[in-house]
Chain A
Amino acid sequence: MKKRCRIESIGISMGHGKLFKLGSIAHAVKAGKQCLKSSIYSTKDINILINTGVYRDQHIMEPSIASLIQNKLNMNIDFHSDHTTFSFDLLNGSCGMLNAIELITSQMACNTIQRGMVVSSEANRDRHSSSKFPYLPSGVAVLLDIASFDRIGFGNFVFHSHDQHAKLYQTAIDYIKKNGELIFEISNEIENYFLRYTNATVNEVLEKNNLTREEIDFVVPQQISADFLQRLPTVINISKDKIVNFSSELPNTLSTSTFLALYYFMQKHQPAAGNNILLLSFGSGITIAGTIYQV
């Protein structure tokens, strides 16, 4: 039987701190602590920590942000202790969390690890006021372990990249400016391009997981925009009632968005055991990623 990876716990961090704006590391740490608080596991049980946030405090390029988060979570920070953690960053825009979960699933399948945590956070710590950071600051942490029952947890993942459109979505740091300055070059048409290719991704997700559209109970997409989520049901031919839409209260938060939406959905609707949730992320590349999560 193929081992499946399931979400054991989710933690989130939203908005600003009481006195100061929280940076991306602070959001990730806050989400990580909340995630651990509601988990049966403790920090010592985590074999691997992956950070998938794109925008970093001080635009740090080295060391991995994951190692800084690991340190602040006090997660097996010493060598030669009974428990150790390996941490690193994975970057793939909005699709990074799904990449990281597929990675952890594969490591669990070959018995390399038993538990892993994926954290992601986005915050604007650019010192230049001209930076038009388009995302609400946020953090999310997901603790994953091996599912006890067949079919529960994550199914097969699909990542469709359309590199002919890579120039539609480019972000960078201008490092000649003091302390660096963020540059965003994102086409106004980007949502149309995402929608153009989404149905093909959904078809492959269904095929690889032996499911039909009727067997999908809910769709949790990245909360790109209200307009995008209005148009999505028609594009993927799934009833509007099944689409999780928090866009009025939860704007796009990039790499954290899909799992923030999943967290709120789980809190408010408590899906039944056996429900199939289709998760979708839309990122630079451009890449559209999807998978099935069975509750």
Chain B
Amino acid sequence: MIGSIDVARVVIPEVFRNFTNGDGTADVSAKDARSVLKALDAQYPGLAKALTEQCLIAIDGNIYPKAMLQPVLEESEVFFVFKIAGG
């Protein structure tokens, strides 16, 4: 934890690692989904846009199609999953 903000471990999908110089994970200070994206974009310009165009955010195993305020806790594991929809 950094101050009152938690540090989340974000796993970068392999196909987006051209934004991260090959880094597979990023530790970001974030309290919710939108601040994860903001922190990622500060670290890796353009990554957040690419992720939101193609992906949904998954926090601790739960996939959120329209996540903004979903909380990210200390030691949360964050993934990005390609957009899906059902029938």
Partners in one complex: no
Q: Which B positions have Cβ atoms within 8 angstroms of A?
A: none
